[in-house]
Amino acid sequence: MATKVHMEALSPTMEEGRLVKWTKHEGDPVKSGDTLAEVETDKAVMELVARADGQLLKVMVPEGTTVPVGNVVAWIGKPGEKVDGDGAGAPAPKSQRSAVSGAREDKPAPAPPSASPRAAPSIPANPSPPIAPADATRVKASPLAKRLAKDAGVDLKLIQGSGPGGRVIKRDVEAAPTASAATASAAQAPAVPRTADRAPRTGVPYEDVPLTQIRKTIAKRLAASIGPIPHFFLTTEIDMERAVEAREALNQQLGEAGGKISFNDIIIKAVALALVQHRACNAWFQDDHIRYWNEVHIGMAVAIEDGLITPVIRNADQKNLREIGAESRELAGRARNRRLKPDEYTGATFSVSNLGMFDIDQFTAVINPPEAGIVAIGSIVAKAIPDGDRVVVRRRLRLTMSCDHRVIDGATGAVFLKTLKQMLENPLAMLL
């Protein structure tokens, strides 16, 4: 019977390995101890060696794929021996665009606890063999274009083919990264197709999208320009008149039942809901890929005696204002008393920093990596605002978003802010 080759834990903390290169290929004879593949672990590139003699019968995961420890990556056996070619029975490898759950211990911000019970097996993954991916038949593309696209991380389905009958050919793939560079908005970039989609809640907490070449270049060049995280800032002024009214009405309704709603709670809720619509901003920069979160966990900057800490409101988009209010007060209280547990201040997907109570009109906040954005909230100030021919007094809020340019482009941040502004200017929209 053929022997399975598993992804092995090549370092003590390794939970998954990226298969960098197969050094043996299907059909090659292998001896126990032979190097089969190079695997990139959380620490270094290591060698995966054969534990059996025979022939490398089948390679289950293509190069570039990240595979959880324990998954079958290949089969060794006698020439001609049949193996379970579809990988049934083997936990599905994580293909480049499929999502997984699970945390990485070595990351500064572990995944939220809610994610861990949901383990990998439910994911319908496609263990694409190295040549001719399973869904290849549905994309009209030349074999060469398919290979180039796989390597470049380009989704063939999103490319307009220029070959006969719209077939995607080499030059279309080669032109693809340039085409995405030309469009300023990440929402239109073919290489990161679904980032701007409304985040699907399928039980999968996030989706890892490998960095495309253009994204890598942006990351490198902007980082070189202004430090490890290339920040840029977007400021908008928001009319809070209706939010003020809504808050008053809601608090009146709550009466003495307690648990008053603060502006901070409304802003957290609005940010969370806007992030659901703009997944491109709800992301972590992860060096070689971007992790687009389907879940929304808002970090809330709290000043403490000797510094600052950001407790996390988990799944803030799915909580009502009372829940958010209660949770934030409770977390802030324990933060000041230094009673927060590590998992209560890690794992945020986006942050909010509010200095409104200190009469700050406007400021810029520094991004908390690996998050890609943070909004800085100034105080709500009554201002004279032109309204047609008249001047009216309106309560206004200046809000500044800091963006990690490796993840978020100007237009991407701007459309997110537009949604956020709409929600705060019309709080009823949050009920939609």
Looking at the annotation, which residues are catalytic?
405
Residues 229-248 that bind another protein (CB under 8 A): none
Q: What strand order describes the sheet that includes 312-313?
A: 231-239, 390-404, 373-387, 350-354, 298-300, 312-313
Q: Give the residue, chosen from 131, 182, 184, 392, that forms a contact with another protein under the rule CB under 8 A.
A: 131
Is 148 a binding residue for another protein by CB under 8 A? The answer is yes
Q: Give the residue, chosen from 117, 164, 342, 388, that forms a contact with another protein under the rule CB under 8 A.
A: 164
Is 59 a binding residue for another protein by CB under 8 A? The answer is no
Sign of CA dihedral 247, 250, 256, 257: negative
Measured from the CB atom, the residue of 151 and 245 that comes closer to another protein is 151
Measured from the CB atom, the residue of 147 and 216 that comes closer to another protein is 147
Cis bond before residue 370 (omega within 30° of 0): yes
Is 145 a binding residue for another protein by CB under 8 A? The answer is yes
Q: Give the residue, chosen from 170, 231, 260, 334, that forms a contact with another protein under the rule CB under 8 A.
A: 170
Is 203 a binding residue for another protein by CB under 8 A? The answer is no
Residues 15-44 that bind another protein (CB under 8 A): 27
CA 248 to each of CA 252, 261, 329: distance values in angstroms, whole numbers, following the listed order: 6, 9, 19
Q: What is the distance between the alpha carbons of residues 226 and 214, in angstroms, rounded to a whole number?
A: 18
Residues 361-390 that bind another protein (CB under 8 A): none
Q: Which stretch binds another protein (CB under 8 A): 145-153, 192-200, 206-214, 392-400?
A: 145-153
* Cβ 130 to another protein shortest distance, Å: 10
Measured from the CB atom, the residue of 43 and 171 that comes closer to another protein is 171
Q: What is the distance between the alpha carbons of residues 222 and 123, in angstroms, rounded to a whole number?
A: 35
In three-state secondary structure terms, 382 is strand
* Cβ 116 to another protein shortest distance, Å: 39
Q: Which stretch binds another protein (CB under 8 A): 47-55, 101-109, 138-146, 390-398?
A: 138-146
Instruction: Let me know: does 16 contact 94? Beta carbons within 8 Å.
Output: yes
Nearest to 65 by CA among 295, 342, 288, 234: 288
Q: Any idea what DSSP says for residue 335?
A: H
Measured from the CB atom, the residue of 107 and 140 that comes closer to another protein is 140
CA 174 to each of CA 27, 133, 219, 333: distance values in angstroms, whole numbers, following the listed order: 31, 19, 20, 55
Nearest to 129 by CA among 76, 58, 77: 58
Q: Which stretch binds another protein (CB under 8 A): 39-47, 52-60, 147-155, 190-198?
A: 147-155
Q: Which stretch binds another protein (CB under 8 A): 85-93, 112-120, 139-147, 206-214?
A: 139-147
- Per-residue contact string for residues 256-285; x = within reach of another protein by CB under 8 A: ------------------------------
CA 244 to each of CA 216, 240, 396: distance values in angstroms, whole numbers, following the listed order: 43, 6, 10
Measured from the CB atom, the residue of 28 and 361 that comes closer to another protein is 28
**Residue 381: what residue type?**
V
Measured from the CB atom, the residue of 110 and 163 that comes closer to another protein is 163
Residue 365: how many other CB atoms lie within 10 Å: 21
Two tokens at 265? Answer: 């709670």
Two tokens at 331? Answer: 């977390």
Residues 319-358 that bind another protein (CB under 8 A): none
* Cβ 164 to another protein shortest distance, Å: 6
* Cβ 163 to another protein shortest distance, Å: 8
* Cβ 167 to another protein shortest distance, Å: 9
Is 142 a binding residue for another protein by CB under 8 A? The answer is yes
Q: Give the residue, chosen from 97, 140, 147, 231, that forms a contact with another protein under the rule CB under 8 A.
A: 147
Is 159 a binding residue for another protein by CB under 8 A? The answer is no
Measured from the CB atom, the residue of 6 and 147 that comes closer to another protein is 147
Two tokens at 432? Answer: 């939609």
Q: Give the residue, chosen from 144, 184, 308, 382, that forms a contact with another protein under the rule CB under 8 A.
A: 144
Q: Give the residue, chosen from 106, 151, 245, 248, that forms a contact with another protein under the rule CB under 8 A.
A: 151
Residue 171: how many other CB atoms lie within 10 Å: 13
Count interface residues toward another protein (CB under 8 A).
12
* Cβ 22 to another protein shortest distance, Å: 14
Instruction: Let me know: does 73 contact 3? Beta carbons within 8 Å.
Output: no
Q: What angle do CA 141, 142, 143 make, to 5 degrees?
A: 115
DSSP readout, 46-80?
EEEE-SS-EEEEEE-S-TT-EEETT-EEEEEESTT
Q: Please give the residue ranges that form the binding site for another protein (CB under 8 A).
A: 27, 131, 142-145, 147-148, 151, 164, 169-170
